[in-house]
Amino acid sequence: MANILIIGAGGVGRVVVHKCVQNRDVFEHITLASRRLSSCEVYQKEVKERYDTDIDIAQVDADDVPALVALIQKVKPDMVLNIALPYQDLTIMEACLQTGVHYLDTANYEHPDSAKFEYKEQWAFDNRYKDAKIMALLGSGFDPGVTNVFCAYAQKHYFDEIETIDILDCNAGDHGYAFATNFNPEINLREVSSKGRYWENGEWIETEPMEIKMVWDYPQIGKKDSYLLYHEEMESLVKHIKGLKRIRFFMTFGESYLTHMKCLENVGMLGIKEVEHNGQKIIPMQFLKTLLPDPSTLGARTKGKTNIGIVATGVKNGVKRSIYIYNVCDHEQTFKETGAQAVSYTTGVPAMIGAKLMMEGKWTGHGVFNLEEFDPDPFMEALNIQGLPWIVKEL
């Protein structure tokens, strides 16, 4: 059926390749491209050994629009799955526009020089995507991604009006290292060391990093310190969930992680501006990434579970209610299935599902979309089938 081009052969890219190969009835032809061909070769070999199936591979610098256009013209995909870094969102969107090919990603555009993400520049493609009669699906990972679909599902089946949403993200995995990040260290550390922000009564309220903490009892995991962060899906949910009065995002961090991060920050290792070192220019955060364990290698050593979900409160038929929708994912099980830990898995599976719904014609449109704009039911159904079953609880 579909011919797809996946760009980015990292931790999440690995899962996307596995899950697309597992759904060969939809993804008939798969090409994996990345900055280094060697990264693609590893996964090409892996799926050949595991599923006895072939995928094509290619080298591309996704910062280079003409190079992307040339690759897309050669591969002639029906869609491009951007599983590289948020820095590449705009160039890949531009290349898809120039070639008339659908687009999907898992993370909001960020400029390398400023640790700030917003949808503005990606939403600005909307009219041009409409004119070109193509579709972009933004943020089809877990959060953003599944959390947006959970909100749309709550809205559709449980509420006349949702008043508050808390997104609750817990990773209780233990990889045995003193300090490591579960996905790209640069993107991860930029996110968690930034100021917090939540939305209440029509305005954004800024907090110091890690200023607001609560303890949440995560099913199958237990009580964990959870800190308020800014997270990108709030920007689109505020726009699309009508009547919303407050939305917040919380993520769990252990004492040791926060102490390491504070020390690194205090000595300047989280800096994203160039510094001079022995006559060479380096960016501290990028040097730190070189020192830290590669997240794509954590799978084999990580034990424990993730639990990510939403708590929505609101009104149905005049009665107040509160529901919790969540998924629990086991690091060891995802490693067994795909060679990746659960953070990569929970991102890669929804990326495949978003692409599958687009290619099957279940989610269609012209322009730029976030996931909560579509009917959540086929996505929720696919989560149960594709390895990320969910639970709804009345609180």
Ligand X SMILES: NC(=O)c1ccc[n+]([C@@H]2O[C@H](COP(=O)([O-])OP(=O)(O)OC[C@H]3O[C@@H](n4cnc5c(N)ncnc54)[C@H](OP(=O)(O)O)[C@@H]3O)[C@@H](O)[C@H]2O)c1
Considering the complex, state which of residue 163 and residue 330 has its C-beta at the smaller distance from ligand X: 330
In 3D space, the residue among 359, 338, 358 whose CA is nearest the CA of residue 348 turns out to be: 338
Which of these segments, 22-30, 179-187, 223-231, 277-285, binds ligand X (CB under 6 A)?
A: 179-187
Q: What is the smallest separation between the CB atom of 319 and ligand X, expressed in angstroms?
A: 33
Q: Confirm if 371 and 106 have CB atoms less than 8 A apart.
A: no
Q: By C-alpha distance, which of 206, 200, 198 is closest to 234?
A: 198
| CB 203 to ligand X: min, Å | 25
Please identify, using beta-carbon distances, which residue of 81 and 132 lies nearer to ligand X. Answer: 81
Q: Using the rule CB under 6 A, give the single segment among 47-55, 127-135, 143-151, 199-207 that binds ligand X.
A: 143-151
41, 63, 330, 377: which one binds ligand X (CB under 6 A): 63
**For residues 306 and 221, what is the distance between their CA atoms, to the nearest angstrom?**
8
Minimum CB distance to ligand X, residue 140 (Å): 8
Residue 264 within binding range of ligand X, rule CB under 6 A: no
| Smallest gap from residue 7 Cβ to ligand X (A) | 6
**Beta strand ranges found along 98-212 (DSSP E):** 102-105, 110-111, 114-117, 135-138, 161-171, 196-200, 203-207
Question: Interface with ligand X includes 376 (CB under 6 A)?
Answer: no
Q: Give the nearer residue to ligand X in terms of CB position, either 139 or 284.
A: 139
Q: Is 62 in the site for ligand X (CB under 6 A)?
A: yes
Q: How many CB atoms lie within 10 A of CB 324?
A: 19
Quote the least distance from Cβ 314 to ligand X, whole Å.
Answer: 25
Q: Which is nearer to ligand X, 137 or 312 (CB)?
A: 137
Comparing CA positions, the residue from 2, 69, 61, 52 lying closest to residue 31 is: 2
CB of 233 to ligand X, least distance (A): 8
Name the one residue in this structure whose structure tokens are 């060697």: 38
Angle at which helices 342-359 and 11-22 pack, to 10 degrees? 50
Q: Does 71 bind ligand X (CB under 6 A)?
A: no
Check residue 35 for interaction with ligand X (CB under 6 A): yes
Whether cis (ω within 30° of 0) applies to the bond prior to 378 is no
Please say which residue, 85 or 168, places its beta carbon nearer to ligand X. Answer: 85
What is the rounded distance in angstroms from the CA atom of residue 140 to the CA atom of residue 315? Answer: 28
Burial class from Cβ neighbours inside 10 Å (0-12, 13-18, 19+) for residue 195 reads: middle
Q: Is 339 in the site for ligand X (CB under 6 A)?
A: no
Of 113-121, 183-191, 202-210, 211-219, which part binds ligand X (CB under 6 A)?
A: 183-191
Give me the residue whose beta carbon is nearest to ligand X. 10
User: Which element (helix H / strand E) includes 247?
Assistant: strand 246-252
At its nearest, how many Å lie between ligand X and the CB of residue 317? 34
Per-residue tokens: 154:
């709550």
Residue 81 interacts with ligand X (CB under 6 A): yes or no: no
Residue 171 near ligand X by CB under 6 A: no
Residue 85 contacts ligand X per CB under 6 A: yes
b/e map 137-165, b = 16+ CB within 10 Å: bbbbbbbbbbbbbbbbbbbeebbeebbeb
DSSP helix/strand/coil, 307: strand
- Of the candidate residues 5, 12, 20, 97, the single one contacting ligand X (CB under 6 A): 12
Contacting ligand X within 98-137 (CB under 6 A): 106-107
Give the chain's length.
395
Choose, by CB under 6 A, the member of 295, 309, 314, 367 that binds ligand X: 295
Least CB distance to ligand X at residue 71 (A): 10
Read off the tokens for 115.
């640790």
Calpha distance 308→190 (Å, rounded): 21
Options 46, 56, 61, 373; binder of ligand X; rule CB under 6 A: 61
Residue among 80 and 311 whose Cβ is closer to ligand X: 80
Binding site for ligand X (CB under 6 A): 7-13, 34-36, 39, 60-63, 83-86, 88, 106-107, 139, 141-145, 183-184, 187, 295-296, 343-344, 347
